[in-house]
Amino acid sequence: MILGGRVIDPESSLDTVRNIGLLDGRIAIIAAEAIQGRDTIDARGLVVAPGFIDLHDHGQTPEIYRLRSLDGVTTTFELEVGASDVDAWYRQRSAGQLINHGVSIGHIKVRMAVMNDPGGFLPVGDGAYAQASRAQIDEIIKRMETGLSQGAVSIGAGFQYTPAATCDEELAVFRLASTSKTPVHLHCRRGVTGVRKELSLVDDTGAALHVVHINSTSLADTPTTLQMISDARARGHDVTAEAYPYAAGMTEIQSATIQDIYGNAPDEQLAKIEWPTTGERLNRESFERYRRIGGPIVVHDNSEEMVTMALTSPLTVIASDAYWQNGSGHPRTTGTFSRVLGRYVRETQSLSMMDAIRKMTLAPARRLEVRVPAMRQKGRLRAGADADITIFNTASVKDRSTYREPSLAPVGIEHVIVNGVSVVAGGRPIDGVAPGKPVRAPH
- Give the interface with Zn ion as residue ranges (CB under 5 A): 187
Nearer to Zn ion by C-beta: 246 or 392?
Answer: 246
Q: How far is the CB of 56 from Zn ion (least distance, A)?
A: 8
Nearer to Zn ion by C-beta: 81 or 368?
Answer: 81
Cα gap 226→241, rounded to integer Å: 8
Q: How far is the CB of 296 from Zn ion (least distance, A)?
A: 13
Nearer to Zn ion by C-beta: 111 or 187?
Answer: 187
Q: How far is the CB of 195 from Zn ion (least distance, A)?
A: 14
Q: How far is the CB of 107 from Zn ion (least distance, A)?
A: 13
Residue 415, SS3?
strand
Nearer to Zn ion by C-beta: 187 or 346?
Answer: 187
Q: How far is the CB of 372 from Zn ion (least distance, A)?
A: 21
CA dihedral (347, 350, 355, 359) positive or negative: negative
Q: List, in sequence order, every residue forming a beta bridge with 101; answer none if it has no partner.
A: 76, 438
Return the H-helix or E-strand segment holding 356: helix 353-360
Which residue, 160, 240, 235, 157, is CA-closest to 203? 235
Cα gap 18→63, rounded to integer Å: 34
Q: How far is the CB of 312 from Zn ion (least distance, A)?
A: 21
Nearer to Zn ion by C-beta: 121 or 129?
Answer: 121
Q: How far is the CB of 273 from Zn ion (least distance, A)?
A: 16
84-87 long-range CB contacts below 8 Å, 24 or more apart? 84/109, 84/110, 84/112, 84/113, 84/143, 84/147, 85/147, 86/146, 86/147, 86/150, 86/151, 86/152, 87/150
Asked if 409 and 220 count as a contact pair (C-beta separation under 8 A), the reply is no
Crossing angle of helices 332-339 and 62-70, rounded to 10°: 20
Q: Which residues contact 358 (CB under 8 A, 6 or more apart)?
A: 10
Which residue, 324, 389, 412, 346, is CA-closest to 56? 324
Nearer to Zn ion by C-beta: 20 or 108?
Answer: 108
Nearer to Zn ion by C-beta: 329 or 436?
Answer: 329
**Which residue's CB comes closest to Zn ion?**
187
Nearer to Zn ion by C-beta: 19 or 254?
Answer: 254
Q: How far is the CB of 360 from Zn ion (least distance, A)?
A: 19
Name the H helices within 35-133.
Answer: 62-70, 86-92, 107-114, 126-129
Asked if 341 and 8 count as a contact pair (C-beta separation under 8 A), the reply is no
Which residue, 74, 8, 79, is CA-closest to 353? 8
Nearer to Zn ion by C-beta: 150 or 215?
Answer: 215
Q: How far is the CB of 80 from Zn ion (least distance, A)?
A: 5
Asked if 212 and 187 count as a contact pair (C-beta separation under 8 A), the reply is yes
Cα gap 377→199, rounded to integer Å: 31
